[in-house]
Structure 1
Amino acid sequence: MKKCLLSFFYATLLLLNSCAKKKCCDFPVYKDFILADKNGAAWNIPPSNSAIKQDTFIVSGSNIIAGTEERFGFKIRFDGLGYYELKSNEAYYTFVKNNLTVSSYKLSLTQGSTIAVFGANEKDKIIQGFFELHFTRMTGAGGPGQPDSIRFLNGKFKVRLQN
């Protein structure tokens, strides 16, 4: 009798757990991010001031490293999901210290830079995708950590756009 009741109890628990409502469609919400492999090393920068202006998305971020502000950004004239080849004035990467530009980079003319937008939620103003950007130094003396060229490979981003 004891074995029969114990078996009945386990069968009831199994049945109740199998019939419970599952949260199969609850997706995790990730914070906004911009990350990539910068010249072969893991890199990330907190998104800030990302915006939408008319038909253009601007994705940007900044970070303070040892008293120097690192600024990064790109813009695309958005006309739907897909790949975008960037022109010379559509991305930037700079280092600023005490409100003075230490080094400034522009997109390389010899290597292509692309953005792939795979998600755009117009209601919540969220855009996400991948990027590969190649920069060459325009100004600045360089120095430690500031080479003549910088490449961002395997880049990923998800940002909420402001008006």
Structure 2
Amino acid sequence: MWRILRQIARHGICSEAAPACSDDLREQGDAIQHELLAILGQALAIRQVDAGSCNGCELEINALNNPYTNLEGLGIKFVASPRHADLLLVTGPVTRNMAEALRRTYDATPAPKLVVAVGDCGCDGGIFGESYATCGRVANVIPVDVAVPGCPPPPLEILRGILTAVRRCRAPSA
């Protein structure tokens, strides 16, 4: 313990520098955030479902909650129950064991329900495809409104996918 304290005193607390972010990228993120707030006018509740992914997409989804993206500052939050969700964010190829659970989650989500498939695996099965172990893409099990490709897609692209889904949902009533 004393050795660690001496090392901290000698070197200080080292932390990682903030990620380099171009002004153009920051402006795009701000524009997406402002448009989401303008469309929603209220909170958006997201239920994230891992249907069998490698967790690469989950890391990027978690990055949406960091101080740089600040998803909660937009009024968008993740919820534990599909009964409280407006949007399902599904990652991974749907494994045979998760297919029924995903259907039940979709059925438990109140209408109008939105579904965003995240990552190459969610969009087209990725490297796993359709096999004895997987049903393949999310659209093979439940209807998908928006697919966000990438392995894994960056947080900004996931945010764009959420915005696209919200635009499609809100467009008919406007």
**What TM-score comes out, normalization by structure 1 length?**
0.28
More helix by proportion, 1 or 2? 2
More strand by proportion, 1 or 2? 1
**What TM-score comes out, normalization by structure 2 length?**
0.27
